[in-house]
Structure 1
Amino acid sequence: MTRRIVLLDGSADGLLDRLRAVRAAGDVPLVGDERWPAAQWSQVRALAAAGQMPKEAAWATLTSGSSGTPRIVLRTAASWEDSFAAVSAILAPEGAVAEQRILLPAPPASSLTLFSLAHALAGGPRPVLPGTAEAADATAFHGTPQALRSILDARSHSQLRVALVGGSHLDQRLRAEATARGIRVAAYYGAAELSFVALDEGEGPRAFPGADLEVRDGAVWVRSPFTALGYLGEPGPLRTDGGWASVGDLASYDAGVLTVRGRADDAILTASATVIPEEVETGLRELPGIADAAVFGLPTDGIGALVAALVELDPGAPSPSAHELRTMAASRFATAHQPRVWFTGTLPRTASGKPARAEALRRALAGEGAWRV
């Protein structure tokens, strides 16, 4: 029998049953995003049909990170199943994980939501998708910091007691606010290709249970049973060395604590300096009046690129002026890391909710919107 990737729409209706049926037939499910235009659906279908699928493949996810071309990541069933026990212990330390109702705000096309759906098929928490009748009764959460922020701001989901947060950096103010509202927060660093790498329950990111970490030439490498098989079609950033794997994220690892700086191939080369966007984004989110930020390089003759920032302003706070943005940045960052070009507006995001830097750059180059300051 020829196995194939089955592309499913991400509608909540019967999604678990559809995933179960595809797996039972021996095929590999890949979930799309209902918000995609027709051209993107066609592109993904062509991508799914183009490559040779290894016999061990059981799940497929689509990833583009914060920039670059979408890729299909293939993984075995065990590469997720082997982490279910550790995730269950995080979500339900007393062992009643099946009684949890887990809110999944990111669309099922994102790998973090699809992971939780796979966990549910194996006896994990019952998934609840936004907009459904059960959403208000969620007791657990798995999503990005941005989605957790939205829940806290809306003062909704009063039964929420634990949040598993991934996809981008979780700032300490957000953790403290969630904790003050009775929500236990476990943040993790990972990647679609690596799954869980490090876990931070309040004392800094340490190796996720079952994973070994080391930093080589400034990049984090992980040895664990959670790594994906690789890509269908075009290669991506995943590199392997024996049992070790890396996607090139820059990091330091001291006294058992991992500090991730960002993806090396996202670095901005400006004059004689190298700027990591995630570091600047983290600092911008800490400034008053800024809810979120995407930092990218704006190509400029002679110096390579100017550091540019698209900032999403906090609707609940006074909006800083262009002069105030520049003044705050000058007091927060070294000269080379200060954004030289500023935009304000709503951040474009990836399927999982991370800032989409490539789309922010495209909009800037196209002059879309009146959001330059």
Structure 2
Amino acid sequence: MPVAQHVMRHAAERPSRLAVCGPAGELTYARLAERIHGAARHLIGLGIGPGRLVAIGLTDPVEVLVAALAADLAGATPLVGDPAWDRERWSRVTPAGPGVHVDAPLPYVAGPAVRHEPRPGDRAWAGFTSGSTGRPRAVVRSRASWTASFPHLSDLAGIRPDDVVLIPGPLVSSLYAFAAVHTLATGATALLPGRWPARTPGDLPARATVVHLVPHRLPDVLAHPGTLRTAVVGGAALDPDTRAAAARAGVRVVSYYGASELSFVAVDADGGGLRPFPGVEIEVRPAPAGSPGTEVRPARAGSLGEVWVRSPWLADGYLGDAAGPLRRDGDGWVSVGDVAEPYRAGEVLRVRGRGDGAIQTGGATVVPEDVEEVLRKVPGVGDIVVIGSPHPALGSVVTAVIEAERATPPPPRALLEAMARGGLDAAQRPRRWYAVPSLPRTQAGKPARALVAARLADGDPDIRRLT
């Protein structure tokens, strides 16, 4: 996925064009190319090359890109992680040990230009599917699985070399990492504040013509649109009212559905609904008859099924022996367990739930399994599913659904909250609590998280709120 060769080409053709603007300063394409070469020579001096892993834990997003692109130029695989992680946490995702761990900006080493011939099948990127809470899990990608999709996104969103693209989030997120390298591949300018501003959205640079972000941040940007022309929105469903507000502000919205393991799956470029991204085939497969957890009330939601995808944009898998939701069949189709309404080619895809379950709440990423592990210890909890419920300001709030038999009342909410306070960080604690007689389950017998979320959204009367 990294685009070192693209940067070198732009540096030769438009050396004075501004490439990146970060918290600590700016770099032209010529200067960025020089920094990448110098850092790549440093890595090569350490014995880093093809087949090696470069673990990157840096705060400054410009330094992250320099390190990632230097690793790319050296032929290695960059892995961008959270700078707050210690070596023990890194060891959990790189059991064989990375080739090198970068926790300070790479030094510049003088010398001749680095020559490496990139290949489409190179393992050119590894990125995490969740934030700094929970069990780290890294997805590994070939170069072509993302770079070959760049022209399609540019065409859909109308992104050009003269654009200035605002990317207001940490590059440990695959969404923001993709946005950054796509911008550099295009020859545009990437504005990289590193994270959402601490004060007001008006602090964001007003010169941006394009922004790439998650849905719950878009209303804040629309309050100060400046020169903004296009918003590329991913990571969750976009509220129709927000799209309408963007239209009133003169901002075109291109929203998409995908996953770290799948990359782009479907895109809505005009407000008419999600259609397959170029090169993507989609199936929504009904679960086998009689499978537990597949019964959704027909009068409310119809029969939901799993989203399966076949495309050139799929990831290779997970780093090391990490477990994850990615599954494959024998014909090249993959799924991460997301659910959708029945779908036929040519129709709009209506996704109803995310398979990985990671919850984005107020800028934090919460892994549901971590919350469930703590709350299962409460006496009277048979089982539990933790999901994210939509929230207008926070994006989502953590929501717990407790399994309790009808004849046995669920544990008091006060007891549940006391356990949450004692064992969870503030961002991880559920804000909404529900009880259900029986949780829907997958064929493997595990609670079907996405189906629980769909039932709750549909107002299933069997799910009652705890007060």
- TM superposition score normalised by structure 2: 0.57
Residue type of the alignment partner of 1:199: V
| Corresponding residue for residue 322 of structure 1 | none
- Counterparts in 2 of 1:190 and 1:68: CA distance versus 1, 3 Å: farther
| Corresponding residue for residue 145 of structure 2 | 79
- TM superposition score normalised by structure 1: 0.71
SS in 2 for 1:97: coil
Q: Distance in 1 between matches of 2:356 and 2:206?
A: 40
What do the CA deviations read for 1:213-248 (whole angstroms, capped 9, x no partner)? 011121001111000000012121111122211101
Answer whether contact 1:261 1:276 (CA < 8 A) is retained. Answer: no
| Corresponding residue for residue 25 of structure 2 | none
Answer whether contact 2:53 2:76 (CA < 8 A) is retained. Answer: yes
Q: Is residue 263 from structure 1 mapped to residue 354 from structure 2 by the alignment?
A: yes
Residue type of the alignment partner of 2:308: W
| Corresponding residue for residue 461 of structure 2 | 335
What do the CA deviations read for 1:7-47 (whole angstroms, capped 9, x no partner)? 2214133443332211010111122234x3x44x5412542
Answer whether contact 2:144 2:313 (CA < 8 A) is retained. Answer: yes
- Aligned runs of 1:216-235 on 2, under 5 Å? 216=285, 217=287, 218-233=305-320, 234-235=322-323
- Counterparts in 2 of 1:222 and 1:184: CA distance versus 1, 3 Å: same
SS in 2 for 1:50: coil
SS in 2 for 1:179: helix
Q: Distance in 1 between matches of 2:145 and 2:75?
A: 17
| Corresponding residue for residue 26 of structure 1 | 75
SS in 2 for 1:98: coil
| Corresponding residue for residue 276 of structure 2 | 207
- Counterparts in 2 of 1:141 and 1:339: CA distance versus 1, 3 Å: farther
- Counterparts in 2 of 1:51 and 1:189: CA distance versus 1, 3 Å: farther
Instruction: Calculate percent identity across the aligned residue pairs.
Output: 39
Q: Distance in 1 between matches of 2:125 and 2:208?
A: 26
Answer whether contact 1:5 1:28 (CA < 8 A) is retained. Answer: yes
Q: Is residue 115 from structure 1 mapped to residue 183 from structure 2 by the alignment?
A: no
- Counterparts in 2 of 1:222 and 1:89: CA distance versus 1, 3 Å: same
Q: Is residue 166 from structure 1 mapped to residue 255 from structure 2 by the alignment?
A: no
Q: Distance in 2 between matches of 1:74 and 1:231?
A: 6
User: Which protein shows a greater Rg?
Assistant: 2
1:60 to 126, 147, 167: 126
Answer whether contact 1:91 1:97 (CA < 8 A) is retained. Answer: no
For residue 134 of structure 1, report the CA deviation from its aligned partner: 8.4
Range that drifts further, 219-228 or 252-261: 252-261
For residue 209 of structure 1, report the CA deviation from its aligned partner: 1.2
- Counterparts in 2 of 1:291 and 1:11: CA distance versus 1, 3 Å: closer
For residue 263 of structure 1, report the CA deviation from its aligned partner: 3.3
Answer whether contact 1:128 1:134 (CA < 8 A) is retained. Answer: no
| Corresponding residue for residue 399 of structure 2 | 296
- Aligned runs of 1:1-373 on 2, under 5 Å? 3-8=51-56, 9-34=58-83, 36=84, 38-39=85-86, 42-50=88-96, 56-64=122-130, 69-92=135-158, 97-130=160-193, 135-152=205-222, 155-201=223-269, 202-216=271-285, 217=287, 218-233=305-320, 234-241=322-329, 242-254=331-343, 256-263=347-354, 266=357, 277=387, 281-282=389-390, 285=392, 292-299=395-402, 302=405, 310=431, 333-337=459-463, 339-340=465-466
Q: Distance in 1 between matches of 2:465 and 2:306?
A: 25
Residue type of the alignment partner of 1:238: L
- Counterparts in 2 of 1:11 and 1:45: CA distance versus 1, 3 Å: farther
| Corresponding residue for residue 436 of structure 2 | none
- Counterparts in 2 of 1:67 and 1:130: CA distance versus 1, 3 Å: closer
- Counterparts in 2 of 1:76 and 1:265: CA distance versus 1, 3 Å: closer
- Counterparts in 2 of 1:10 and 1:60: CA distance versus 1, 3 Å: farther
SS in 2 for 1:85: helix
Answer whether contact 1:74 1:230 (CA < 8 A) is retained. Answer: yes
Answer whether contact 1:59 1:76 (CA < 8 A) is retained. Answer: yes
How many residue pairs get aligned? The number is 307
Residue type of the alignment partner of 2:75: G
The structure in which a higher percent of residues are strand is 1
Higher relative contact order (CA 8 A, sep 6+): 1
Q: Distance in 2 between matches of 1:331 and 1:17?
A: 43
User: Which stretches in structure 2 are left out of the alignment for 5+ residues?
Assistant: 1-48, 100-120, 198-202, 288-304, 358-367, 373-380, 417-428, 433-455
Q: Distance in 2 between matches of 1:127 and 1:171?
A: 26
Q: Distance in 2 between matches of 1:168 and 1:331?
A: 15
Q: Distance in 1 between matches of 2:91 and 2:165?
A: 30
- Counterparts in 2 of 1:212 and 1:300: CA distance versus 1, 3 Å: closer
CA RMSD of aligned residues (A): 3.7
| Corresponding residue for residue 44 of structure 2 | none
For residue 90 of structure 1, report the CA deviation from its aligned partner: 2.2
| Corresponding residue for residue 364 of structure 1 | none
SS in 1 for 2:272: coil
